[in-house]
């Protein structure tokens, strides 16, 4: 599970991407990147915590599903 500090970091990254009109893309990236820690969280509560529309809970679920699929197939995100 993510700490409040980590949730704030995700929130900052997501809202910071609004300037470049990439807010949803950053949301996807942050959920995918942090999927192991976010698994088990209530999607609607997570959206509320990062101040995005509750409707993005579907996006949250899809990114967690993608992360599981990537893990099953040995695909990894590179950290540079």
Q: How confident is residue 3, by pLDDT bands cut at 50, 70 and 90?
A: confident
Amino acid 77: pLDDT: 79
Amino acid 62: pLDDT: 98
pLDDT, one tens digit per residue, over 24-70 is 999 999 999 999 999 999 999 999 999 999 999 999 999 999 999 99
The span from the CA of 26 to the CA of 18, in Å, is 9
pTM: 0.91
The span from the CA of 27 to the CA of 13, in Å, is 8
Distance of alpha carbon 77 from the chain centroid? 14
Amino acid 78: pLDDT: 74
50 contact partners, CB below 8 Å, separation of at least 6: 7, 10, 11, 14, 27
Answer for the pair 60, 43: CB distance below 8 angstroms, yes or no: yes
């Amino acid at each position: 599970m993510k700490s409040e500090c980590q949730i704030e970091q995700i929130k900052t990254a997501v809202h910071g991407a609004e300037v470049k009109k990439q807010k949803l893309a950053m949301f996807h990236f942050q959920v995918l990147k942090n999927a192991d820690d976010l698994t088990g969280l209530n999607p609607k509560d997570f959206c509320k915590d990062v101040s995005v529309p509750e409707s993005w809970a579907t996006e949250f679920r899809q990114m967690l599903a993608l992360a599981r699929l990537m893990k099953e197939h040995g695909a990894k995100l590179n950290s540079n």
